[in-house]
Structure 1
Amino acid sequence: MTLVVLGLDALDPDLVDPDEHPNLVLDHHRAIETLVSHTGEPSTHELWPTIITGLTPADHGLELDDDGVAWGNPLLEAGSSVADYLLPDALQSRIGAWLLTNTGADAFRTPATYYADNDIATVFDGREATAIGVPNYVVDPDSEDREHNLRRSLGDLFERDPESTGGHTSSDPATFYEQCMEMAMVRIARARRGVRGGRHELVFAYTSGLDLIGHVTYDMPALQMAAYDELDEFVGELRADLDEGDELLLVSDHGLQDGVHTHEAMVAGTDRAMVEDIGSVLDVADAIDAELDATDHASREEDPERQRGDGTEVRDQLEDLGYL
């Protein structure tokens, strides 16, 4: 049995239509509570470490400063410390936006070793698990996949602008949309590969595509909803790869409407009990652990009756597209 957890940044319970998006609600779904950072809104940087540990940001230690700039990059941390004493808030925000847009800094690249070094337990500990693009849980800091590469190369397709409605602007929203959906596609394809390979009891993948699109389509709601429609199809392909006994859990860190993070997240799953056990982002880790502890998770490599091919189809597709 494999438990697949797919993190869909900014999947909003108010924007998911069960009739139009059956693969985004699965068999059971619900809105859940999220946490608000020092900046006044939910933060991806803080929330995914919370989701994989069950700890508040204060307890796991990966927190944003009040100016939202101190994100684990030495340049940004130093600049933020100085700015706290010397610069007014408005100017700090502008400088932080420029740094994050122009220096290639990545807010979400804390190595996985951080957790062991600080005696913080995660859902991956002691498991046959794979983490695919989980923010602030980077297994190999020297390696990047297509989503990372695309995000770094967005340029003026996605520029930080604290004065705009969504906090960002795009020189070409249609092209930006296509790149974001490509990012989502490759991460979900990698999750499919993890399932088909049969070597893991936990496959945990993440994509930021929906969040990025939402930040620049606040005045183009049709484009944002097109992303939900396509994402539903992508998740449907993943769902079709599940074997008997496999489970799928979708998790978001917050919603996103009118270009701004909302204070409500959601979960959806193929297992009712797991969904019912999650009322907050703080509950996700315990629900994952409970599901894995309660079920036989012999890999297909160890259990010949569960083997179903070598899973090369998805890998071949990714290689053909230049993703691997």
Structure 2
Amino acid sequence: MVLVVLALDAADIRHAEEFSCDNILLDNHTKMESVAHRLDHPHTGEAWPSIATGLHPTEHGVTGHGSWDSAALTGLSRVAHKLNISGSIRSAVGDLIKSSTDQEWTLLTVDDPTFLDGEYRAVHNWPGVYRNEALQYIWRLFAQAKDDEISKETFIREAYTEAASKFGWIHEAMSKDVEIAATHIHILDVLGHLYPEDRESYREVYEDVDERVGEVRDTLGEDDELLILSDHGMEVSWVEEDDDYGTHSWRAIASTTLDSPPEHALDVKSWVENNIQAVDTKRTATDLPEEQLRELGYIE
């Protein structure tokens, strides 16, 4: 059995229902309670490590402020965080630093145990846990598009191809001897920020993602299961109670092919541990050409 976990950033349960995304909703779905600390709404850099660890951001310590190349800037960032200076102000200052210096900001990763840990648990990328560069790449493109350094069309193309690469990885990983195959996909978030007042364009994004989830669903083996999670939703102009279009909503989703999905972000880790099956694989030595690898510099 493989438990496939698709972390669909910003998948909003209301939008999935409105757009009839049966594959995203799966057999059983619920509005999942998320977490927030740095901002008034859930934030990608905080929520995903919380989902993976079962810990609040104040416990695992990855609260979205990241680390700068400069130790001094990192220290000032920590001070600003402790003083509770608003996230929007810190973000604006960070944008100014990046635009006027050669400093780079890096999202931190947790030290605490996660449900993604283990030799037979395959993860492609997961914000705050493993390989943050994919998320930082798409964020960087978004900033370039916002500043007219690249065209809107280029950004949309890159957002779709980046998402497609994650779905392709899932298809390959789930065919191997693993307990978990998990990846984070950011397209609903970045294009949600682009289309908060364009219902039909956002519908097209949901329909594309739903079709790709359907392809994963169709590939599941007889004993395989699928879990879909999001960290938050997206406020939009056509939802009456939304008033800050393009910001994150509290309408996260959890859906699954199993009986009942987790109802809170901090419950996901225990839910996963209760629903996986260990891989029955005998370890065998790999006969590698050691001398040749040493000559090529792969090993010392």
TM-score by length of 2: 0.78
Alpha-carbon shift at residue 95 of structure 1 (Å): 1.9
**In structure 2, what is the equivalent of residue 98 of structure 1?**
96
Counterparts of 1:1-20 in structure 2, within 5 Å, are 1-17=1-17, 20=20
**In structure 2, what is the equivalent of residue 156 of structure 1?**
144
**In structure 1, what is the equivalent of residue 77 of structure 2?**
80
| AA partner of residue 22 (structure 2) | P
Question: C-alpha distance in 2, partners of 1:7/1:106?
Answer: 23
- Asked if 2 retains the 8 angstrom alpha-carbon contact of 1:176 and 1:213, the reply is no
**In structure 2, what is the equivalent of residue 192 of structure 1?**
171
**In structure 2, what is the equivalent of residue 239 of structure 1?**
217
- Asked if 2 retains the 8 angstrom alpha-carbon contact of 1:30 and 1:267, the reply is yes
| AA partner of residue 256 (structure 2) | G
Indicate the SS of the match to 1:200. Answer: coil
- Asked if 1 retains the 8 angstrom alpha-carbon contact of 2:179 and 2:278, the reply is no
Question: C-alpha distance in 2, partners of 1:189/1:285?
Answer: 25
Indicate the SS of the match to 1:250. Answer: strand
Alpha-carbon shift at residue 127 of structure 1 (Å): 5.0
- Which residue, 243, 247, 269 being the options, matches 1:260? 247
Question: C-alpha distance in 1, partners of 2:174/2:180?
Answer: 9
| AA partner of residue 271 (structure 2) | A
| AA partner of residue 121 (structure 1) | P
Listed one character per residue, the Cα deviations across residues 195-244 of structure 1 (whole Å, up to 9, x for unaligned) are: 12x12111110011110111121222222111100001111111122111
Indicate the SS of the match to 1:31. Answer: strand
Q: Which moved more, 1:91-100 or 1:147-156?
A: 147-156
**In structure 1, what is the equivalent of residue 280 of structure 2?**
298
**In structure 1, what is the equivalent of residue 265 of structure 2?**
281
Question: C-alpha distance in 2, partners of 1:138/1:173?
Answer: 29
Listed one character per residue, the Cα deviations across residues 294-316 of structure 1 (whole Å, up to 9, x for unaligned) are: x35436x99xxxxxxxxxxxxxx
**In structure 2, what is the equivalent of residue 311 of structure 1?**
none
Question: C-alpha distance in 1, partners of 2:253/2:108?
Answer: 24
Structure 2: stretches of 5+ with no match in the other structure: 237-245, 284-300
- Asked if 2 retains the 8 angstrom alpha-carbon contact of 1:101 and 1:155, the reply is no
Number of matched pairs: 269
Structure 1 residue 215 corresponds to structure 2 residue 189:
no
Question: C-alpha distance in 2, partners of 1:14/1:56?
Answer: 25
Alpha-carbon shift at residue 37 of structure 1 (Å): 2.0
User: Would the alpha carbon gap of residues 291 and 229 (structure 1) be closer, same or farther in structure 2, given more than 3 Å must change?
Assistant: same
Q: Which moved more, 1:88-97 or 1:19-28?
A: 88-97
Structure 1: stretches of 5+ with no match in the other structure: 65-69, 160-168, 303-324
**In structure 2, what is the equivalent of residue 26 of structure 1?**
26
| AA partner of residue 223 (structure 2) | G
- Asked if 2 retains the 8 angstrom alpha-carbon contact of 1:170 and 1:176, the reply is no
Structure 1 residue 229 corresponds to structure 2 residue 207:
yes
TM-score by length of 1: 0.73
**In structure 2, what is the equivalent of residue 108 of structure 1?**
107
Rg larger for: 2
Alpha-carbon shift at residue 136 of structure 1 (Å): 1.4
Alpha-carbon shift at residue 48 of structure 1 (Å): 0.8
Q: Which moved more, 1:279-288 or 1:29-38?
A: 29-38
Question: C-alpha distance in 2, partners of 1:122/1:201?
Answer: 14
Alpha-carbon shift at residue 176 of structure 1 (Å): 2.5
- Asked if 2 retains the 8 angstrom alpha-carbon contact of 1:24 and 1:235, the reply is yes
Counterparts of 1:29-68 in structure 2, within 5 Å, are 29-64=29-64
